[in-house]
Chain A
Amino acid sequence: MKHKTFFWFMLPSGLAMLLFIAMPIVSVLIQSVYAPHEQVIIEVENCGPFGCETSTAVDQDATRDLREAEPLGRFVGNNIYTDRNHLATSEIGLAWQSSTGIGDFFSKLLNLPFYGALLFTLTYTAVVTPMALIFGFVIALAVNTLPKLLKGPMIFFSLLPMIVTPLIGALILFWMIDARGVLGSFIQWIASDPNLSLKASTPLTWAMLMVYGIWSSAPFAFVVYYAGLQTVPDDTLESAMIDGATPFERIRYVVLPHLLPLTTFMALIKIMDNFRVFEPIVSFNAAAHAQSLSYFIYNDLGGETQLLSSSAATSVITIICVSILLSPVLYRTWRDFGKS
């Protein structure tokens, strides 16, 4: 392709990426190192239907002057990144000094919101990503062996979890696993414990969120693998059969290597998606047991008082964490690409 053609071909998507990906990231970065001005608080008398009381309020005139002088706010450098609600560096130092042992240190560490959320997010990513890929692959293999007549309906049914809006899908499950719901009662019956509640136990809530994650993202892996299976060369499969390979060996030594690039691609996308786990925490009302970095951003922006700088810092940390998680896969892709 000529350079000129390539340039005009890439221009629209390049512009869109600059506008909608690069610029927001720059803006979030700037936001995260600036904080609102020091508040000028004055004593005021508030009156209302329940009488008058002395209270405090923000002095708007003084604040306006401050804002006009420095529209971005006050520069705080990495203060927000290191404060207790984010990386909590000084709190970790204190915990290290005051801990009686490594177990005590970890319990203090996980009591800090960021690290508690990180533990859940990483566990979720580490469990859901491979499980969803494995389930998707098994479903794709199963559907691929079906007679033609059944394939269409089966593909449709297997895709349903992806078609249902995530929030709605999670809400439906939320009601089903209620202590009086169909799944909740079933689990109580299995465990023969009438007081068992999935929503009240942290390990069971985690398990439930992960099952939901696998359920909702397996169809994506299924579609991609199913498409990939159609490209597996019949000749190779046949020669493997002639060589006496069992069905399992054919999958292990022919199909899987053939689908490896697809697996890398899906692992990339799913790691990114799973690290940003958010909807199930909201729709399962699970914030008491499991939190994620995305949930913190939502919480900062949806609270009584919006914390813009805090949510910006969490966003930047999320981007950094995703890049760290992706780096092995990216490195591998780069190396393979360089080889060929």
Chain B
Amino acid sequence: MYHFKKALLASAIVLGGATASFAACGVDSGRVGIVGNEFPAIQTVAENAAKCDGLDVKANLTADHQKINLAGMQGNPAEYTTAIIANSSIVALINEDVLRPLDDLIAKHGQDIPKNQLITIDGKVMAVAFMANAQHLVYRKDILDELDIAVPTSYEEVLAAAEKIRASGKLQNPVGGAYKTGWNLAQEFVNMYIGTGGSFYKPGTAEVAINNAQGVEALNMMKSLSEYMNPDFLTHDSNLTSDEWEAGNVALMNMWGSRTGRLMDDEGAEPVVYENTTVGGPLTVGDSGKRATTLWWDGWTVAKNISNEDAEATFVAMKNGISPSILNDETMGQAVWMIDGYQPAPVNQGVFDTIAAGASPYPMLPYHGLLHTALGDNISDFLQGKESAEQALSDIEAAYTAAAKEKGFLN
């Protein structure tokens, strides 16, 4: 009995200790519902958002977050009081007016959030960013060194290097890329088209204008690259491309900074692969001087259709989720954090180089999501050799125009 009592006492102390690690965030009641993508950095943010004293915090992190966040914020009261989004996905939420401007909450609770983390649209703060992301070159140092190839800085050099690697017999398909039909493939075109110096729309309108020399150049470069890829490339998303990398089948690829940590850790690959996985900078295409990649941020928002109390609770909880105290040995390398006290690791160098090179952010236009979908549906026919680049581009324009007319962006 005595031992039992002692055990009880001990667990009470442990429990007390656990609650003590909960933070007082400045608001002590309210409901917080988080919806967001699922990768380590966001899991860290959601975990720490749940550590506020007295708040009822629930998180739903899933790769399908974009399919549910809008519907989950349109009700009144909204099921999700905050959505963790990126600069592309915030647009769908802003278009439907489900986000609450954060200016009053920042005045009350967020004076210490650095200004460059605030995403303002038309003068109103709509989101707070906490990490940056970009796609950049990842390469196998051992293979490049052995064949005496300099680290490529342009896609033309990637092609030359790929030819050399293939000719050496080391790898049959040395180039990797997330070219899965749909979102991934469209993203690669957006990168490449920006790299050629093209602009997506006629200035000042929602009228698409990609059926031009730059569009053809971008598509042709994608096709040339795909000839050095695994023949199944149209089924490979970022996850499968990473798997191909870890299997040691790929020596050069354009990959997300947020995924390089997984490639460089000692899980899932042979030492020769992960020890030689090195990040490079952003690539160029042609002679426009622009980088063929886009800059991304991830951030959180607050829903419009919730009570002031819940909005305040959500704000302080999410602010706690991105406070400097979340950074430790484990979380430091998960992302390029925009948080004070963040120390860059070699794995993050690619994203920094991309920012330093002055790459463009992904376009935050209300109708760009429609173009992204049209791109994802219509490029694969060209890459398979079923139609010409001009035909593919005119299909994309026609598909976008029909969708934009339906949505009321075009007459």
Residues on A facing B (Cβ under 8 Å)? 35-39, 41-50, 53, 55-58, 60, 63-64, 74, 76, 79-80, 83-85, 91, 111, 113, 178-179, 195, 197, 199-200, 202, 284-288, 299, 301-307, 309-310
CB of B313 within 8 Å of the partner chain: no
- Among B91-99, B263-271, B278-286, the one that faces the other chain is B91-99
Bound Cα distance A285, B117 (Å) = 37
Q: Mark B292-307, 1 if CB is under 8 A from A, else 0.
A: 0001010000000000
The 9 A-B pairs at the shortest CB distance, nearest first, are namely A304-B369, A305-B369, A285-B235, A44-B122, A288-B380, A303-B373, A197-B231, A288-B181, A200-B231
Select A178's contact among B232, B380, B405, beta carbons within 8 Å: B232
**Closest residue on chain B to residue A174 by CB atoms:** B235
Q: Are the CB atoms of A299 and B181 closer together than 8 Å?
A: no
Are A57 and B122 in contact (CB-based, < 8 A)?
Answer: yes
Q: How far is the CB of B117 from chain A (nearest CB, A)?
A: 7
Does B220 count as interface, using CB distance less than 8 angstroms?
Answer: no
B85 shortest CB reach to chain A, Å: 11
Q: A39-B366, A57-B94, A58-B366 are in contact. Are A111 and B391 (CB under 8 A)?
A: yes
By a CB distance below 8 angstroms, the chain B residues around A302 are: 66-67
Residues of A near B399 (CB, < 8 A) are 84-85, 113
- Is B42 on the interface with A (CB-CB < 8 A)? no
Known A-B contacts A111-B387, A199-B234, A285-B235; A310 and B92 likewise in contact (beta carbons under 8 Å): no
For the complex formed, measure the closest distance between the CB of B294 and the CB atoms of chain A, giving whole angstroms: 10
A199 CA to B232 CA in the complex, in Å? 6
Contact status A200-B361, CB under 8 Å: no
Chain B residues with CB under 8 Å of A76's CB are 406
Q: Is B255 in the interface zone, CB < 8 Å from A?
A: no
Contact A285–B181 (Cβ < 8 Å):
yes
In chain B, residues 151-206, which have Cβ atoms closer than 8 Å to a Cβ of chain A? Answer: 180-183, 204, 206
User: CB < 8 Å: which of B88, B120, B408 contacts A35?
Assistant: B408
| B364 interfacial by beta-carbon distance below 8 Å | yes
Query: How near does chain A come to B76, taking the closest CB pair, in angstroms?
Result: 14
Which partner residue on chain A sits nearest B398 by CB separation?
Answer: A84
Q: Chain B, 111-134, contact with A by CB distance < 8 Å: what is the 0/1 string?
A: 000001111111100000100100
Query: Is B37's beta carbon under 8 Å from chain A?
Result: no
Q: How far is the CB of A72 from chain B (nearest CB, A)?
A: 13
Min Cβ gap A65→B in Å is 12
- Specify the chain B residue showing the minimal Cβ separation from A46: B121
B199-232 interface code vs A (CB 8 A; 1 in, 0 out): 0000010100000000000000000000000111
Flag if B231 contacts A179 (CB, 8 Å): yes
Residue in B closest to A303 when the chains form the complex, CB atoms: B373
Most interface-central of A38, A49, A299, A301 (chain B CB within 10 A): A49
Nearest opposing residue in chain B for A302, CB measure: B67
**B234/A44 in contact, CB under 8 A:** no
Once the chains bind, are A60 and B407 in contact (CB under 8 Å)? no
- Report the bound CA distance from A105 to B405 in whole Å: 26
Residue numbers in B under 8 Å from A35 (CB-CB) = 406-408
**Inside 8 A of A195's CB, which chain B residues have their CB?**
231
Q: Measured between alpha carbons, how far is A36 from B403 in the docked complex, in Å?
A: 11
- Residues of chain A within 8 A (CB-CB) of B364 are 46, 55
8 contacts between A and B (CB under 8 A): A39-B407, A39-B409, A49-B117, A49-B297, A50-B297, A197-B231, A199-B234, A285-B237
| Distance from A179 Cβ to chain B, minimum over Cβ atoms (Å) | 6
A48 touches B402 (CB 8 A): no
- Distance in angstroms from B138 CB to nearest chain A CB is 22
Closest to B122 in A: A44
The answer to whether A41 touches B366 (Cβ under 8 A) is: yes
Cβ 8 A contact of A309, one of B95, B398, B406, B409: B406
Residues of B within 8 A of A44 (CB): 121-123
What is the distance, in angstroms, from A117's C-beta to the closest C-beta of chain B? 11
Complexed CA–CA distance, A42 and B363 (Å)? 16
Task: Judge whether B411 is part of the interface by a CB distance below 8 angstroms.
Answer: yes
Q: A80-B406, A84-B401, A200-B234 are in contact. Are A301 and B67 (CB under 8 A)?
A: yes
User: What is the minimal beta-carbon distance from B205 to any residue of chain A, in angstroms?
Assistant: 9
B43 is an interface residue with CB less than 8 A from chain A: no
The docked-state distance in angstroms from the alpha carbon of A214 to that of B368 is: 40
Whole-angstrom distance between the Cβ of A54 and the nearest chain B Cβ:
10
B106 contacts the other chain (Cβ, under 8 Å)?
no
- Given A38-B408, A310-B406; A304-B66 close (CB under 8 Å): yes
Known: A41-B366, A55-B365, A306-B70. 11 other contacts (CB 8 A): A37-B408, A44-B123, A49-B132, A50-B361, A55-B364, A56-B206, A57-B366, A58-B366, A197-B230, A284-B235, A288-B380
**Are A304 and B372 in contact, with the CB atoms below 8 A?**
yes
Check if A307 sits within 8 Å of B407, measured CB to CB. Answer: yes
